[in-house]
A and B are shown apart, each in its own frame.
Chain A
Amino acid sequence: MSVTPVLSVKDLTINYDNFPAVDNISFDVQEGDCLGIVGPNGAGKTTLFRAILGLQSFSGNMKLFGYENPKYSSIIPLIGYVPQKVTFEPNFPATVYDVVSMGIISEKRIVQGAKLIQECGCCWNRVYQSIKKNEDKVTQALHTVGLESLRNRRIGELSGGELQRVFIAKALVKDPLLLILDEPVASVDVESQTKFYNVIKTINEQNKITIIWSSHDLDAISKYANRVACMNKKLFFHGEKEKFFSDKELLKTYTESSMQMHMHDHNHDMH
Chain B
Amino acid sequence: MILEALSYTFMQKALVAGIAVGIICSFMGTFLVLRRYSLFGDGIAHVAFGGISVGLFLGIFPLWTAFVVSILGGLGLQKLRQSTKISGDAAVAVVLSSGFAVGVILVSASGGFSIDLFSFLFGSILLISNEDVIMILAISSGVIGTLVVLQKQFLHLTFNEEQAKLGGLRTTLLNYAFVILASITVVTSFRLVGMLLISALVVIPNITAMMFGMGFKKTVLVSMAISVSSVISGILVSYSLNVAPSGTIVLIAVAILMTTLALKSTGILRKVDIKTPSKISHNS
A-to-B contact residues, CB < 8 Å: 53, 55, 76-77, 79, 81, 83-95, 97-99, 101-103, 105-106, 109, 152, 154, 156-157, 160, 163-164, 166-167, 174, 183-184, 186-188
Q: Which of B258-284 contact A (CB under 8 A)?
A: 272-276, 279-284
Q: Given A91-B273, A156-B273, A167-B282, decide whether A86 and B163 contact each other with a Cβ distance below 8 A.
A: yes
Q: In whole angstroms, how far apart are the Cα atoms of A76 and B164 in the complex?
A: 12
Asked whether, in the complex, the Cβ of A53 is within 8 Å of the Cβ of B166, the reply is: yes
Q: In whole angstroms, how far apart are the Cα atoms of A154 and B211 in the complex?
A: 12
Q: Is B215 close to A, CB under 8 A?
A: yes
**How distant is A48 from chain B, measured CB to nearest CB, in Å?**
15
Most buried by B among A79, A92, A152: A92
- Inter-chain contacts of A160 with B (CB < 8 A): 282-284
Closest-by-CB residue of A relative to B272 is A91
- Inter-chain contacts of B274 with A (CB < 8 A): 91
Interface window among B103-111, B154-162, B226-234: B154-162
Asked whether, in the complex, the Cβ of B279 is within 8 Å of the Cβ of A90, the reply is: yes
Asked whether, in the complex, the Cβ of B167 is within 8 Å of the Cβ of A186, the reply is: no
Asked whether, in the complex, the Cβ of B284 is within 8 Å of the Cβ of A85, the reply is: yes
B-to-A contact residues, CB < 8 Å: 30, 34, 152, 155-156, 159-160, 162-168, 209-211, 213-216, 218-219, 272-276, 279-284
Asked whether, in the complex, the Cβ of A88 is within 8 Å of the Cβ of B280, the reply is: yes
Q: In whole angstroms, how far apart are the Cα atoms of A184 and B283 in the complex?
A: 8
- Inter-chain contacts of A55 with B (CB < 8 A): 162, 165-166
**How distant is B65 from chain A, measured CB to nearest CB, in Å?**
36
Asked whether, in the complex, the Cβ of B216 is within 8 Å of the Cβ of A95, the reply is: yes
Asked whether, in the complex, the Cβ of B282 is within 8 Å of the Cβ of A92, the reply is: no
Q: Given A77-B168, A94-B215, A109-B168, decide whether A89 and B279 contact each other with a Cβ distance below 8 A.
A: yes
Asked whether, in the complex, the Cβ of A188 is within 8 Å of the Cβ of B283, the reply is: yes
Partner of A187, one of B159, B211, B219, B284: B284
Q: In whole angstroms, how far apart are the Cα atoms of A92 and B206 in the complex?
A: 11
Not counting A86-B282, A91-B272, A102-B152, a sample of 20 additional A-B residue pairs whose C-beta atoms are within 8 angstroms of each other reads: A81-B163, A83-B162, A84-B283, A85-B281, A86-B281, A87-B160, A89-B34, A89-B279, A90-B273, A90-B280, A91-B275, A93-B30, A94-B216, A98-B155, A99-B159, A106-B168, A154-B214, A156-B280, A160-B283, A167-B282
- Inter-chain contacts of A92 with B (CB < 8 A): 34, 159
Q: In whole angstroms, how far apart are the Cα atoms of A146 and B159 in the complex?
A: 23
Most buried by A among B167, B209, B218, B279: B167
Asked whether, in the complex, the Cβ of A79 is within 8 Å of the Cβ of B166, the reply is: yes
**How distant is B193 from chain A, measured CB to nearest CB, in Å?**
24
Q: Could you give 17 example pairs across A and B, Cβ below 8 Å?
A: A53-B166, A77-B168, A83-B162, A84-B283, A89-B34, A89-B279, A90-B273, A90-B279, A91-B274, A93-B215, A109-B168, A156-B272, A156-B273, A160-B284, A164-B282, A167-B282, A187-B284
- Inter-chain contacts of B276 with A (CB < 8 A): 90-91
Asked whether, in the complex, the Cβ of B168 is within 8 Å of the Cβ of A163, the reply is: no
Q: In whole angstroms, how far apart are the Cα atoms of A85 and B165 in the complex?
A: 16
- Inter-chain contacts of B152 with A (CB < 8 A): 101-102
Partner of A164, one of B34, B215, B283: B283
Asked whether, in the complex, the Cβ of B167 is within 8 Å of the Cβ of A103, the reply is: yes
Q: Given A93-B215, A152-B215, decide whether A85 and B155 contact each other with a Cβ distance below 8 A.
A: no
Closest-by-CB residue of A relative to B212 is A93
Q: In whole angstroms, how far apart are the Cα atoms of A184 and B282 in the complex?
A: 10
- Inter-chain contacts of B162 with A (CB < 8 A): 55, 83
Most buried by A among B164, B211, B213: B213
**How distant is A53 from chain B, measured CB to nearest CB, in Å?**
6
Q: In whole angstroms, how far apart are the Cα atoms of A83 and B282 in the complex?
A: 10
Asked whether, in the complex, the Cβ of A93 is within 8 Å of the Cβ of B210, the reply is: yes
Q: In whole angstroms, how far apart are the Cα atoms of A93 and B210 in the complex?
A: 6
Partner of B280, one of A79, A87, A95: A87
Asked whether, in the complex, the Cβ of B167 is within 8 Å of the Cβ of A154, the reply is: no
Most buried by B among A53, A85, A164, A166: A85
Q: Given A94-B155, A167-B282, decide whether A77 and B219 contact each other with a Cβ distance below 8 A.
A: no
Q: In whole angstroms, how far apart are the Cα atoms of A106 and B282 in the complex?
A: 26
Q: In whole angstroms, how far apart are the Cα atoms of A248 and B215 in the complex?
A: 52
Asked whether, in the complex, the Cβ of B215 is within 8 Å of the Cβ of A95, the reply is: yes
Q: Given A84-B283, A93-B215, decide whether A105 and B167 contact each other with a Cβ distance below 8 A.
A: yes
Asked whether, in the complex, the Cβ of A88 is within 8 Å of the Cβ of B215, the reply is: no
Q: In whole angstroms, how far apart are the Cα atoms of A40 and B167 in the complex?
A: 29
Q: Given A85-B284, A160-B283, A187-B284, decide whether A76 and B215 contact each other with a Cβ distance below 8 A.
A: no
